[in-house]
Amino acid sequence: MRLLSGVLLGLLAGCSQAALVPLFDTQRLPDAEPDATALRRCQAMATGYPPYSGALAMGSKYDQSQSSKDELDEKAARQYQQQVAEIYGYLAFLGQIGEYMRSERPAIRAAAQACFAEALAPWAEAMALTQTGASKQGEAVRKWFLAALATNMMKARALTGWELDAEQRRWVAALADRVQAHATPRRQRMDLYNNHDYWSSWAVMAAALVLDDPERLAWAEQGYWLAISQITPGTKGGVYLPLEAARGKRAEEYHAFALTPLVLMAEAGCRNGLPLYDGRGESLHALAEQVVHFWKRDGKGVRFKQKQVDIDDHKMAWWPVYAHRFADRLPLPKAEAERFGSRFTGGSLTGLWVAPR
């Protein structure tokens, strides 16, 4: 009933348009021929990123003998980095192309659009990362990959008018199918439901926006509300996520990492008439405020007994998105916003909206 009411509310709120609304506003420049030099350079770089053909058999980089899983296993971490190097290198390349799509020169944007399409083509043809038999960590890599891929696609669509072709559509749909197949049974185990599941829901929602697929959007919305139900008031103020709080010295860091997919889902939902910031969703504001306290290390709200590691800026990729809509709640100067971006969000998410909403 929650899903039906959410979708119906979206329609009644005026979102009865045929197509789903993407995450970013259209900001295209006049048409131009691609800058030949820029395109050649980008094409040359693209040859260094052939489709990943290895197994999705990655292992965790953390010591699995500890329940908190907050200690890096140096040998396992090195092996993990070797296993994901090709995948993450490719995502970094797509993000780099995305940065050129922000250029004020139409010819540079046109070159970036052409190169982006060419960079996607061999991976789509190979149906990369859609294989079966993935390990638990391999499934995590797949969902992060889909989240980044679909976000980069939405950037390209907004900034250049790029559109995916039939082969790319099949690829994105197959990736989303795999993510959903792994994530759906986990929704019956709320004792295990954590940041991984939040990212699965966001990855599928992002794919839904790219594919214009309301059914996937509804599936993702359900995952969002399950996550929201886990936000718990602290005994001395603030809020926390119990399963992320169990991550020892990385509890604050994992709260920040978990918040990114939740804010992106809330924002995408709001743009499609789903009131994900409202009702029970209002607790997301408290979680955002708490994570900023963690990042600032000001000691406000929830405090963990164990000394915490610093929160890297890329774990705060959600903040520019949230601050754009709620500048009065957690303001973020534009000059500082660019520093917050992740490979899983295609880099920085600043400057992708025409005006405050």
Residue 335's pLDDT is what?
81
pLDDT for residue 147 is more than 60: yes
* 239-240 and 232-233 beta bridge pairing: antiparallel
Residues 231 and 249: beta-carbon distance below 8 Å: no
Residue 10's pLDDT is what?
44
Query: How far is 145 from 91, CA to CA, in rounded Å?
Result: 8
Confidence of residue 357 (pLDDT cuts 50, 70, 90): low
Locate 197 and state its tokens.
């599941």
Highest mean pLDDT out of 20-24, 60-64, 333-337: 20-24
Residues 240-262 have pLDDT tens digits of 999 999 999 999 999 999 999 99
Average pLDDT, the chain: 92
The single residue listed with the structure tokens 């996520």 is: 241
Average pLDDT over residues 168-193: 97
- Provide the β-strand partners of residue 152: none
Confidence of residue 104 (pLDDT cuts 50, 70, 90): very high
Average pLDDT over residues 97-125: 97
Residues 199 and 141: beta-carbon distance below 8 Å: no
Residues 190-202 have pLDDT tens digits of 999 999 999 999 9
Residues 67-83 have pLDDT tens digits of 778 888 889 889 999 99
What is the three-class DSSP state of 235?
strand
Locate 165 and state its tokens.
């072709």
- Provide the β-strand partners of residue 267: none
The CATH-assigned architecture of domain 2-348 is Alpha/alpha barrel (1.50)
Q: What percent of the chain has pLDDT over 90?
A: 85
Residue 4's pLDDT is what?
44
Residue 70's pLDDT is what?
81
**Secondary structure (DSSP) of 134-170:** --HHHHHHHHHHHHHHHHHHHHHHHHH-----HHHHH
Of residues 158 and 69, more confidently modeled: 158
Confidence of residue 100 (pLDDT cuts 50, 70, 90): very high
Domain regions of the chain by residue span: 2-348
Query: How far is 302 from 144, CA to CA, in rounded Å?
Result: 28
Residue 63's pLDDT is what?
77
Residue 90 burial by Cβ neighbours in a 10 Å radius (0-12, 13-18, 19+): buried
Residues 99 and 350: beta-carbon distance below 8 Å: no
Average pLDDT over residues 126-149: 97
Residues 198-240 have pLDDT tens digits of 999 999 999 999 999 999 999 999 999 999 999 999 999 999 9
Residues 245 and 301: beta-carbon distance below 8 Å: no
Query: How far is 293 from 314, CA to CA, in rounded Å?
Result: 16
Residues 2-46 have pLDDT tens digits of 444 444 444 433 334 459 999 999 998 999 999 999 999 999 999
Residue 207's pLDDT is what?
98
Query: How far is 331 from 180, CA to CA, in rounded Å?
Result: 35
Residue 355's pLDDT is what?
73
Confidence of residue 356 (pLDDT cuts 50, 70, 90): low
Average pLDDT over residues 80-94: 96
Q: How many residues does the chain have?
A: 357
